[in-house]
Amino acid sequence: MESQQQEQKIRIAAVGDIHVRETDRGRWSACFQDISRKADVLVLCGDLTDTGDEAEAELLANELKACTIPVVAVLGNHDYEKSRHKLIRQIMINAKVHILDGEAVVIDGIGFAGVKGFGGGFDNHMLSMFGEGAMKAFVQEAVDEALHLDRALARLDQEHDLRHKIAVMHYSPVKDTIAGEPEVIFPFLGSSRLAEPLGRRNVTAAFHGHAHAGVLQGQTSEGIPVYNVARPILMRSGYDCGYFILEV
């Protein structure tokens, strides 16, 4: 007979692109309380801050005191805007948030691996490592992020009692979930390179944000579910408080 732990479902609440501002004091506490009642883990998929300012991160850390469940997060491009991402990361760590940047964490038998990700395009239209140094550096960033994700997932493979693996990122690993955005900016919204580790490491599902005009759900070529949980998408879709719950 399966153990009670194996039978128990874990509810993962996920949202990205909350873009916390200094004027948001008191705005998020009720939402985090609601999430804590309805989910077992909260995943934040980047763009935690609006302008990449540490004061915004401090405000978010204070609002997260209302959250009574574990929080897993990655940073997004907005969090890098003022090159204060290391400060933002440390503020979140001090608030007991599991910030993943090529790292992994196990919570209630679920493994979470995360990276920010990067752009580069999708499928047959991926940018290649060719041409000017600046272009090669752009592509190399996407390659490096995919490698970091793969290594984090590989570390989870060493866990014996792992029930599921969840990938967390800001940029999209598939074209499906950015449909609705202008096609000319697709190369800046994600990269198929990020999808490669998902199939290789048998990931259960992946969450991302970044594409505010995209769609909620897509999948990789192997059929792995991918969820774009950018808050603007969830709000348009009628999700209370703008978060999505996946039960695994």
Beta bridge pairs of residue 44 = 15, 73
Q: Which CATH superfamily is domain 11-247 in?
A: Metallo-dependent phosphatases (3.60.21.10)
The tens digit of pLDDT for each residue in 173-194 reads 999 999 999 999 999 999 999 9
Helix axes 85-94, 54-63, angle to 10 degrees: 20
Contact at 8 Å (CB) between 14 and 243? Answer: yes
This prediction's pTM: 0.94
DSSP per position, 135-204: HHHHHHHHHHHHHHHHHHHHHHTT-TT--EEEEE-SSBSSSGGGBTB-GGGGGGTBBGGGTHHHHHTT-S
Q: φ, ψ for residue 181 (rounded to 5)?
A: -80, 155
Question: Which of 199, 213, 191, 205 has the alpha carbon at shortest distance from 139?
Answer: 191
Distances 5 to 2, 9, 37, 95, 183 between C-alpha atoms, Å: 8, 8, 20, 28, 44
The tens digit of pLDDT for each residue in 34-76 reads 999 999 999 999 999 999 999 999 999 999 999 999 999 999 9
Rounded to whole angstroms, the Cα distance separating 116 from 109 reads 23
Q: Is the pLDDT of residue 1 over 80?
A: no
The domain segmentation of the chain, as residue ranges, is 11-247
